[in-house]
Structure 1
Amino acid sequence: MHTRLLHNDPQGIATAAAILRAGGLVAFGTETVYGLGADAGNNTAVAAIYAAKGRPGINPLISHFASADAAFAQVAATPLARRLAERFWPGPLTMVLPRAAHCGISPIATAGLPTAAVRVPAGDATQALLAACGFPVVAPSANPSGRVSPSDAQHVLAGLDGRIDAVLDCGPCRVGVESTIIGLGGDAPVLLRPGGITLEALEDACGMTLALPARGNDVRPSAPGQLSSHYAPGLPVRLEATAVEPDEALLAFGPPLPGSGLAWNLSATGDLHEAAARLFAGLRFLDMEGHRRGLVRIAVQHVPEHGLGRAIRDRLIRAASPRA
């Protein structure tokens, strides 16, 4: 299969929509990361996503919609869900809600769960593509399963060239980490995955403290991004480094550790928004260049656990987890 690179213009968007309508796979940029899209109601197309990524079938997918009304037509929306939609959609928030009786999302996409993960993404190109399709589009990150998420079109091609139909080049992603996922199907809302909307902002909107799930669910995840090992480069990752060894690359935050050779600074000024936007590109750079130089590990400096730092730390902890 030849993977086409489509321009972010009316012709490129129309071509991408036509491929999705025909049951093909198209990667496209959102405000978070690049997603690998398929028609959410097409069982064959959804199954092809799992095959292209090598993604475990137990790991559900997020369905993307052009509007909150379209999303809530597929799930049992609660008053809190509608309030969160008014505040955060379009944007990097995913809600997990019970499937509606007439839900048209493929059960393959929801991994057989009674819930569905829904989101209205931001970005002119993404919104134009969803509007052109006229149906929900499932879109996990456009990379081989478990590896570093893509934040530009070339990252997608590096991992999936020849395995998908096309990539719609929407430029670099603004947020740089995946959406926050909140579970709203139980008695109280639960933060299922930290992401582009901070826990602090969510709790303010909910008017309550959110329950936090146990880290890692490799048996029956209720949402994407919960597997223990995820977002991983080829080189092993060592967290909370206070010194860097000669055979290590350094992922820095703030003033870099002395003696570092190969390094990528998430943010020299300690800006967590900048750090989130540069995280996956940095891991990819250090992995590729570190392998070329014969290094054996990526050392990571401390990132604070507040605001977007919570999402950054979540990705780094999973990147450093033991791999199957």
Structure 2
Amino acid sequence: MQTVMLTGSQLDQAADFIKQGQLVAFPTETVYGLGADATNEAAVKKVYQAKGRPSDNPLIVTVASVLMVEKYVQSFSDDAKKLIKKFWPGSLTMIFKLKPNALSKTVTGGLDTAAFRFPNNQLTLNLITKAGVPLVGPSANTSGKPSPTTAQHVYHDLNGKIAAIVDDGPTTVGVESTVLDMSTEMPAILRPGAVTKEDIEAVIHRTVMDERHHVGLNQTPKAPGMKYKHYAPDAQVYIVDPDDDWQAVADWIKAYSKPVGVMAFDRVIQSVNWPENTDVISLGNDAQSAAHDLFAELRDFDNHKQYQVIFAQGLKPVGLAEAYMNRLNKSAGQMHFKQL
């Protein structure tokens, strides 16, 4: 299969691929998604094949309107209606209980719930409207690897495995959407993102759980990223915690002698005497730039196979930094500089 790169003026072609049961990668404000007709079970199965994704990892359903969601879910609570009004379109995915047999078990992982996302990207909203169906929309990458924030990242992972990629340039947020479970009595964040716990509580005026329990081998996760290793480059990532001494990191690198990657804030980079075998990449100066750049920089190091070790800036998990640290911890497999 030849994967074609499409622009915003070629959405009719992209929609035709979707109608034919093919896979099309699409842009969102967070990361690029891998789209297939969510009502076509054969097409959805191709998503798992292309990504190498475990079949019990449910897929987010991407929509272009609230009406599209209402077709499949039992009802919206008053809290859900408030959140929809405030954050859709946007970087909030919500899990709802489904009507009986509303979606295939291939989409839901066999659960009676599904996660719905209304992205803030006009090209993708137009694509869904033209296709006339919701799209499953996991990240458009090889399963377990850093998520794609450019069309070129998608092409690197999935060239020859999907029909097309709609290129809308780099994404603006850089980490996946917040996933909020609205199918339980108390709302629970299953994956942090740009929409924070505080943002949600300010709208619904009630406590939101921050659920981080481990999903067992025989359990089906309600949301992506809860069970399997994610976002990992080939090199081992180590987190440098906020109270760690970066000069000690530099000393370790010097003794190691092999090439080592470093991802850190500008002020850290400028304050340390780095040995010659260090390749330093800036994460900017705050959580917003760090979250935006994380996956792209991990991929950049991944493209240079001589790296076996990467040190990455750790942050206190507050606000958007919580989403950044969630992804970084998964990339590192919870490994920290202190453990070396």
Provide the TM-score with structure 1 as the length reference. Answer: 0.93
Aligned residue number for residue 259 of structure 1: 273
Aligned residue number for residue 226 of structure 1: 226
How many residues are paired up? Answer: 315
* Contact persistence 1:252–1:266 (CA under 8 A): yes
Aligned residue number for residue 279 of structure 1: 294
Aligned residue number for residue 160 of structure 1: 158
* Contact persistence 1:71–1:119 (CA under 8 A): no
Aligned residue number for residue 61 of structure 2: 63
Q: Which has the larger radius of gyration?
A: 2
1:146 CA displacement: 0.6
What 5-or-longer segments of structure 1 have no aligned partner?
A: none
Instruction: Provide closer, same or farther for how the CA distance between residues 108 and 102 of structure 1 changes in structure 2, counting only shifts above 3 A.
Output: closer
Q: Distance in 2 between matches of 1:217 and 1:107?
A: 19
1:69 CA displacement: 2.0
Q: What is the 5 A alignment of 1:23-172?
A: 23-76=21-74, 77-101=76-100, 103=102, 105-172=103-170
**Moved >4 Å (runs of 4+):** none
1:33 CA displacement: 0.4
Q: Distance in 2 between matches of 1:215 and 1:316?
A: 18
Q: Distance in 2 between matches of 1:2 and 1:287?
A: 24
Q: Distance in 2 between matches of 1:311 and 1:162?
A: 32
Give the secondary structure class of the aligned counterpart of 1:108: helix
Task: Give, as a single letter, the amino acid of the residue that structure 2 aligns with 1:6.
Answer: L
Instruction: Provide closer, same or farther for how the CA distance between residues 6 and 218 of structure 1 changes in structure 2, counting only shifts above 3 A.
Output: farther
Task: Give, as a single letter, the amino acid of the residue that structure 2 aligns with 1:317.
Answer: N
Q: Distance in 1 between matches of 2:81 and 2:111?
A: 22
1:137 CA displacement: 0.4
Q: Deviations over 1:265-320 (max 9, x none)?
A: 111x22x222221111111112223x2xx332110122231111000100010111
Is residue 184 of structure 1 aligned with residue 182 of structure 2? yes
Instruction: Provide closer, same or farther for how the CA distance between residues 282 and 108 of structure 1 changes in structure 2, counting only shifts above 3 A.
Output: same
Q: Distance in 1 between matches of 2:322 and 2:51?
A: 26
1:3 CA displacement: 0.6
1:58 CA displacement: 0.8
Aligned residue number for residue 338 of structure 2: none
Q: Distance in 2 between matches of 1:254 and 1:285?
A: 18
Q: Distance in 2 between matches of 1:283 and 1:218?
A: 28
* Contact persistence 2:234–2:308 (CA under 8 A): no
Task: Give, as a single letter, the amino acid of the residue that structure 1 aligns with 2:173.
Answer: V
Greater helix fraction, Structure 1 or Structure 2 = 2
What 5-or-longer segments of structure 2 have no aligned partner?
A: 336-340
* Contact persistence 1:55–1:145 (CA under 8 A): yes
